[in-house]
Amino acid sequence: MIASLRRLTALCALGAALAACGTAGNPGPARPAHANPAPSASPSVSRPPTLAPGPGGLTPVFEHGPRDLGKTVALTFDADMTADEGPRAASGEHFDNPDLIATLRLLKVPATVFMTGRWAEQYPAQARSLGRDPQFEVANHSYSHYAFTGDCYGLPTVGPAGMRKEVERAYASLRTAGVPHPLPYFRFPGGCYDRQALRALGATGVTAVQWDVVSGDAFATDADAVVQQVLDGVKPGSVVVMHCTRSAAPTTARVVRAVVPELRRQGYRFVKVSELIGGTNGHR
């Protein structure tokens, strides 16, 4: 009883974090963009577009693409798994969502997956498959899915000294799993960040990627309500946050099967986050 109550509490905390916090601290709009600030270490692989750092080297924050460059929309999927959820996975809980990935492939929807390092360790074959498929981009969602601010829906907190390590450890896990070129984009767990977090990650060179449309798929049981929320929210250049975590977001594949044809009927084209950032930079 106590154990199940505890588990429920933990689930709710994660659920709140998954549900995405549109009110999370935002120290200001993204800085005007420019082309890649750092030279590519590997000339054979073109470096994805990033935003220019903010004042004092603050990590830049991207929320949506240009509103006036046509009807594009980026579906993003957070592959959440916290560092302490290994025992739950071992006892049969599914933090992956193969049906969702198969659906995106079937419908030929390009998408960006923000993957925790812990998820990549649990599901290396899927991480590798996503990382090697040009239809997808795999980006960083921290190693542990712990919060980068003091108050983020009950998630355990990473101190400033550990923030950069969280990002670097996640990249190491992604590469070990077989994702050859994870993107220099980072999504804060729960979407929670503040100035201190942006400062702590400045040296990593990532662009933080938020969203302007909350799908509401976390712990949803009514797929139609999620579909409606997405359709009501999408505008040209939108970034939609959804989840690639079966146990915490069981309706997402169904939502995608409904949302994709409808948005295409409305004239939308699905793109990856890099294309929206590239469009913001005016380098397309």
Q: How far is the CB of 182 from Zn ion (least distance, A)?
A: 16
Structure tokens at 132: 């090697």
Q: How far is the CB of 14 from Zn ion (least distance, A)?
A: 8
Contacts of 266 (CB under 8 A, 6+ apart): 71
DSSP state of 52: P
Closer to Zn ion at the Cβ: 80 or 275? 80
Closer to Zn ion at the Cβ: 188 or 268? 188
DSSP 196-242: HHHHHTGGGTPEEE--SEE---TT---HHHHHHHHHHH--TTEEEEE
Q: How far is the CB of 82 from Zn ion (least distance, A)?
A: 9
Count the residues of the shown chain that bind Zn ion, applying the rule CB under 5 A. Answer: 2
In the chain, the amino acid numbered 53 is P
Q: How far is the CB of 235 from Zn ion (least distance, A)?
A: 23
Closer to Zn ion at the Cβ: 65 or 191? 191
> What would the x/- binding string for Zn ion be over residues 196 to 215, using CB under 5 A?
--------------------
Closer to Zn ion at the Cβ: 209 or 263? 209
* Beta bridge partner(s), residue 27: none
Q: How far is the CB of 169 from Zn ion (least distance, A)?
A: 16
> What would the x/- binding string for Zn ion be over residues 235 to 254, using CB under 5 A?
--------------------
> What would the x/- binding string for Zn ion be over residues 69 to 108, using CB under 5 A?
---------x-x----------------------------
Closer to Zn ion at the Cβ: 243 or 272? 243
What values do phi and psi take at 222, rounded to 5? -105, 95
Q: How far is the CB of 261 from Zn ion (least distance, A)?
A: 27
Work out the burial of residue 212: count CB atoms within 10 Å of its CB; fewer than 13 is exposed, 13-18 middle, 19 or more buried: middle
Distances (CA, A) of 248 to 171, 186, 217, 252: 24, 21, 8, 10
Distances (CA, A) of 45 to 40, 42, 48, 108, 170: 8, 6, 9, 23, 21
Closer to Zn ion at the Cβ: 78 or 217? 78
- Which parts of this chain interact with Zn ion (CB under 5 A)? 78, 80
